[in-house]
């Protein structure tokens, strides 16, 4: 593909392209979100500090714009969760950006105790001036759906148990892979003297996401239900992002990668569930399952690399890009071993492809571009 690298640029407005925008603006604001938003605004008045959890892959797009005026008026720490799924080469640029805006920011993995402890150190430091004069402190955890708020709450609970003589049995927050798991605002005591309470709140979006690309990024990260947007539309957007960034071109070194180990046939793994990336009816995946996933990922990467390098069009041209994506869907169908005559082949491709992306199997990504920081004069 002649001159492709010179054509690859960011900020192409992929969301505005007809094949991405065809489904219209993305809106997911069920009744419980409206009620939760009102409750959050009311309780924010009482909060001594707010932990705003965002998805590290979309540090800007995962911010609730309607709540920002309320949050910016409070002591706040921005926690960029799922850092294990975010590109580390860009992650530090984002933390630097927030620091340049005088905003405390910590990149975390909510399932890592050491990571959460670093976040709590920042929280405790910011509360020091309040602790000396207040017997009870309130910390609120807020964010859009599926950014990992409840997982963070559960990790804080585990840390609190080891630090403080908490007497009452503490309820664990519900955690799930789907947005909208937490639908009630619940308070949890995590410390004595002073008493510190943490409020875990439901994930809430704005009533209407005006920017289509922001909505697609939220859907890709799992903050909007797939059924609202459609898996095919989300997968199409992901392919557009990968192609215009030239990501598959960086996968060419994987073409010769081989794994020595257990030989298997795909048909011999009927219990394997790609949806959960672990085998059913077994507690842990064995090596054969791991090799199966690795081989599947390698096939997907090779398929996208081949289609992109053989493409003789212009990825900046909407029509050409759409044609390329159609070719890639066919290539992915073969790589993912989906029956050729399956009536819902494209939907099946989309679901499996999105699962690989969301679980980090295709590599770490950050979809938002870091804003330019103006030098201090």
Domain ranges of the chain: 1-21+211-262+287-376, 28-200
What pLDDT, in 10s, does the model give residues 63-86?
Answer: 999 999 999 999 999 999 999 999
What pLDDT, in 10s, does the model give residues 30-40?
Answer: 888 999 999 99
What pLDDT, in 10s, does the model give residues 114-138?
Answer: 999 999 999 989 988 788 777 788 9
pLDDT score for 274: 61
Q: How confident is the model at residue 21 (pLDDT cuts 50, 70, 90)?
A: confident
What pLDDT, in 10s, does the model give residues 154-208?
Answer: 999 888 878 765 445 555 444 445 454 444 566 777 777 777 888 888 999 999 9
The residue behind tokens 């799924």 is 85
What pLDDT, in 10s, does the model give residues 242-257?
Answer: 999 999 999 876 555 5
Q: How confident is the model at residue 221 (pLDDT cuts 50, 70, 90)?
A: very high
pLDDT score for 176: 46
Q: What is the DSSP string of 261-303?
A: S----GGG-TTEETTTTEETTSSS--HHHHHHHHHHHHHHHHH
pLDDT over 90, % of the chain: 58
Residue 10 has pLDDT above 50, yes or no: no
pLDDT score for 374: 63
Q: What does the DSSP 8-state code read for residue 246?
A: T
What's the pTM value of the predicted model, to 2 decimals?
0.84
Residue 347 has pLDDT above 60, yes or no: yes
- Contact status, residue 91 vs residue 366, Cβ threshold 8 Å: yes
Q: What does the DSSP 8-state code read for residue 22?
A: T
Q: What does the DSSP 8-state code read for residue 109?
A: -
**E strand or H helix that includes residue 196:** strand 195-200
Angle formed at CA 151 by CA 273 and CA 288, multiple of 5 degrees: 25
By C-alpha distance, which of 190, 208, 210, 207 is closest to 199? 190
CATH classification number, 28-200, choose in 3.40.50.880, 1.10.3210.10, 3.40.50.2000, 3.40.50.300: 3.40.50.300
């Amino acid at each position: 593909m002649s001159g492709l690298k010179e054509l690859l640029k960011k900020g192409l407005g992929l969301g505005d392209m007809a094949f991405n925008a065809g489904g219209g603006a993305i809106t997911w604001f069920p009744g419980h979100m409206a009620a939760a938003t009102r409750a959050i605004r009311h309780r924010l008045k009482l909060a001594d500090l707010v932990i705003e959890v965002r998805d590290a892959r979309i540090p800007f797009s995962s911010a609730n714009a309607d709540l920002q005026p309320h949050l910016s008026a409070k002591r706040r720490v921005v926690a960029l969760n799922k850092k294990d799924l975010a590109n580390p080469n860009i992650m530090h640029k984002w933390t630097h950006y927030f620091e340049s805006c005088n905003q405390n920011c910590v990149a975390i993995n909510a399932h890592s105790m050491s990571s959460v402890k670093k976040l709590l150190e920042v929280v405790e430091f910011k509360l020091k001036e309040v602790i000396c004069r207040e017997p009870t402190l309130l910390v609120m955890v807020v964010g859009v759906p599926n950014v990992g708020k409840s997982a963070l709450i559960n990790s804080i609970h585990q840390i609190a148990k080891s630090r403080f003589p908490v007497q009452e049995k503490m309820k664990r927050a519900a955690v799930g892979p789907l947005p909208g798991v937490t639908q009630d605002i619940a308070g949890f005591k995590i410390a004595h003297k002073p008493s510190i309470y943490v409020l875990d709140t439901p994930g809430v979006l704005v009533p209407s996401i005006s920017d289509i690309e922001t909505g697609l990024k939220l859907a890709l990260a799992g903050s909007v239900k797939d059924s609202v947007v459609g898996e095919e539309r989300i997968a199409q957007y992901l392919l557009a992002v990968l192609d215009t960034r030239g990501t598959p071109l960086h996968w060419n070194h994987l073409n010769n990668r081989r794994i020595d180990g257990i030989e298997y046939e795909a048909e011999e793994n009927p219990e394997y569930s790609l949806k959960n990336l672990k085998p059913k009816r077994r507690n842990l995946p064995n090596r054969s399952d791991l090799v199966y996933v690795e081989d599947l990922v390698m096939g997907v990467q090779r398929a996208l690399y081949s289609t992109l390098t053989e493409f003789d069009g212009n990825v900046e041209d909407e029509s050409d890009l759409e044609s390329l994506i159609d070719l890639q869907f066919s290539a992915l169908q073969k790589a993912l071993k989906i029956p050729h005559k399956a009536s819902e082949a494209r939907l099946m491709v989309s679901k499996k492809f999105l699962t690989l992306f969301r679980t980090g199997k295709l590599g770490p990504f950050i979809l938002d571009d870091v804003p330019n920081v103006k030098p201090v004069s």
